[in-house]
Copies of this chain bind each other. A is one copy, B any other.
Amino acid sequence: MKALVYTDVETLEYRKFANPEPGPDEVLVRIDSVGICGSDMHAYLGHDDRRPAPLILGHEGAGVTADGRRVTINPLVNDPNSAASRSGRENLCPSRQIISMPPREGAFAEYVAIPERNLIEVPSHITLEQAALAEPIAVSWHAVRLGLASLHPADERRAHVIGGGAIGLAAALALTAMGVEQVTLSEPNAARATYLRDTCGIAVVDTPEQDIPLVIDAVGFSSTRAVASALVSPGGVILHIGLGSSEGGLDIRRITLQEITLIGTYTYTAQDFRDTCNAMFNGRLGTLDWVETRDLSDGAAAFTDIRAGKTLAPKTILKP
């Protein structure tokens, strides 16, 4: 098959690659659409020890099975018998794997191998470009679910999202879908901010209100954590999704004196992934049209453009 292979720091080669071989209980999915994630960019820049070259990146895939089913892929492969999986927390399974991380190749390719249980069938009114958004939206859906469960019952359901990438946008959409009426978002890139306002109907603000019960850091650098620490109300919750930097930024004195909860969140449970798909399929997450598409063969240029801040849409989707 043809694949976009990460071969060295800042180097992606579109070339032939051995077809993946499905293991027991696994199927081959012919990829139709696959999104580029911030973590793919992180790996491409050589910043992710978990993803050494050579490797096929990409874990946000949708496509078609050999028997003709249109599917979106939950890329998180876990041991169904681990204690974490049995408690419904597949994302905490100690033997969890994700496609695009060894030993599993990713979906920037014509085919990917994946357990049958990781497939969600896509109804005919949803395109496979839209279906490829299930994975990033599930990340945010899961985070928002954890955050709302941790908010004190007396606190207002009011939220602010830091960062207007796909995860930040999806967090805003998930908040709205879960009934939070006051949702704002901050995004420093003016063109992206305008896109989010005009295309996605998001309340992008330059200066967020203070004292917000639920603050979502969808970036994860020390600078955004400092903003989150200052914005969150006493007794409030910070959801930390991003993997930008591993230290600094949190005002731990304020977190302690004002009883703030910080929740690290990673991927999603299998149920969150299904719930996200259902919400997408039922229209509760909007029109799902905030994408740009590129040929997979053009993938290297897509990475360069994203890095240069030239893409307006929060999600770039590659088409094999």
Contacts and interface: CB of A to CB of B under 8 A. Distances in A.
A255 interface: yes
Interface stretch (A68-76, A257-265, A277-285, A304-312): A257-265
A124 B164 CA distance: 62
Interface string A100-111: 000000000000
Q: Chain A, interface size: which category?
A: 35 or more
B92 A235 contact: yes
A220 B254 CA distance: 12
Given A150-B150, A261-B262, 17 more contacts: A86-B154, A87-B154, A89-B152, A89-B154, A89-B235, A91-B259, A94-B234, A146-B259, A240-B256, A243-B256, A243-B257, A246-B251, A248-B252, A250-B250, A256-B264, A258-B266, A261-B261
A152 B269 CA distance: 14
Contacts of A150: 150, 261
A94 B211 CA distance: 11
Interface in A107-163: 146, 150, 152-154
Nearest to A252: B246
Interface string A270-301: 00000000000000000000000000000000
